[in-house]
Amino acid sequence: MGQWQGTKELSAVQALPVDEWSPIQVGQGCTRRDLPSVRGVRVWVVDMAPGAQWPSIDHHETGESYYVISGEVIEGDARYGAGTYVSFAPDSRHQPRTETGVRLIGLNLGTAAFLAAGGSSESITHCYHPTQG
């Protein structure tokens, strides 16, 4: 697993070569790297091989946002290429796929962080999964 690098003088600054962080296989052709972050915020990098589809429909009680670093992701009939920021509302569902391959960096808020940021508890209809923040 990758290690954060830093010095005593710059303890507030951490740098991580993302490709050195251990990927988690989440489905055929789909990996995720869960990156260290502040409490309540889940930050991750997803790589999907050409022709891959996320293995299940993702449900995000507090929403989800990602930035397409390279390649193209397909959400329903919409295609988003490199340089595109995509944001899903609270209680949304999606199942991304790709024909070309794609790398995304994204984030989710935990329930407490979502509510502290002004999110509505009425928009959270299911229990927040503890692995998401």
* pLDDT for the residue 50: 98
- Residue 121 three-state SS: helix
What residues does each domain of the chain span?
18-115
* pLDDT for the residue 82: 98
> What are the backbone angles phi and psi of residue 97, rounded to the nearest 5°?
-145, 170
Q: What is the CATH number of domain 18-115?
A: 2.60.120.10
| Parallel/antiparallel/unpaired status of strands 102-109 and 30-35 | unpaired
Length of the chain: 133
Reading the block at residue 2, the tokens are 């990758």
Intervals of the chain under pLDDT 50:
1-10, 126-133
* pLDDT for the residue 14: 76
Q: What does the alpha-carbon distance between residue 98 and residue 38 come to, in Å, rounded to a whole number?
A: 30
* pLDDT for the residue 96: 95
* pLDDT for the residue 125: 52
* pLDDT for the residue 13: 72
